[in-house]
Amino acid sequence: MNTNQNKAVEFEDLGIKEYQPAWDYQEQLMKNIIDTKIKNRDLPAEQHSITPNHLLFVEHPHVYTLGKSGHEENMLAGIDKLKEIEATFVKVNRGGDITYHGYGQVVGYPILDLENFFTDIHLYMRNLEEVIIRTIAEYGIKGERSPGETGVWLDVGKPYARKMCAMGVKASRWVTLHGFALNVNTDMRYFEYIIPCGIKDKQVTSLKRELERELTPEEMEELKAKIRKHFADVFQSELIYK
């Protein structure tokens, strides 16, 4: 356990950014943290450098991503259809199956050294879910966990259960990568070209669909502020704005 825990989290909103450059940026931040941890191993505790933590927000142009344990048959659109709908397809090194990212989504990538918090991936995932559950509760929406199915769901156990927020995470040396995708003003037609997360009998939804109205740009910024607040509360951290 890190005896020099740092619970400050540097926040950065990347705006609209293609998936691959955002992924590369995440991996560089992760590498920097891991490099620091490796150097610390050869030093006495009093000389250890603190490891930073990061939280990135981003909005991706249309892209489908497939986790390393996923199944390509859950991608229903071929190359021609992807071109037609102006979407790309990327294989990634996170857990989970296939998911969609696109305009109108709030995508959050926490790159945390969990030794600054707790060394428990299961708890980390439940905490991420809790952040979103608390956030959408402010809009009168009851988010829930679905046993064995990561993410935030509505009406769990009912025939019309649906997922509002997908999650996929990788960790190396207790440093996290990837994160969550909350559907807000998302064009839900893009989910018709995949079997989301490989789950055939469940639907997906968005804040727009549940509220029956689109969030304005100002309301989108307010939503992001709510996510940041709940993230800081749940992880007992302080967000530092870059």
Q: Is 181 annotated as a binding residue?
A: yes
User: How many residues comprise the chain?
Assistant: 242
DSSP summary character for residue 194: B
CA 221 and chain centroid, separation: 17
Say if residue 99 carries a ligand binding annotation. Answer: yes
179 is in an annotated binding site: yes
**According to the annotation, is 180 in a ligand binding site?**
yes
What is the set of active-site residues? 197
Q: Which single residue is written with the structure tokens 């497939």?
A: 66
- Alpha-carbon separation of residue 167 from 101, 180, 235 (angstroms): 11, 4, 17
| 187 in a known ligand binding site | no
Q: Is 96 annotated as a binding residue?
A: yes
Based on C-alpha coordinates, what's the Rg of the chain?
18
Answer whether 90's CB lies under 8 Å from 20's CB. yes
Q: Is 213 annotated as a binding residue?
A: no
DSSP, residue by residue, 219-231: HHHHHHHHHHHHH
3-class secondary structure, 189: helix
Is 166 a known ligand-binding residue? Answer: yes
50 is in an annotated binding site: no
Place of tokens 């990327």: 90
Residue 75 carries which DSSP code?
A: B
Residue type, 164: M
* CA-wise closest residue to 114 among 1, 32, 192: 1
Please tell me whether 168 is known to bind a ligand.
Answer: yes
Bind-site residues = 94-101, 166-168, 179-181
Binding residues for substrate are 94-101, 166-168, 179-181
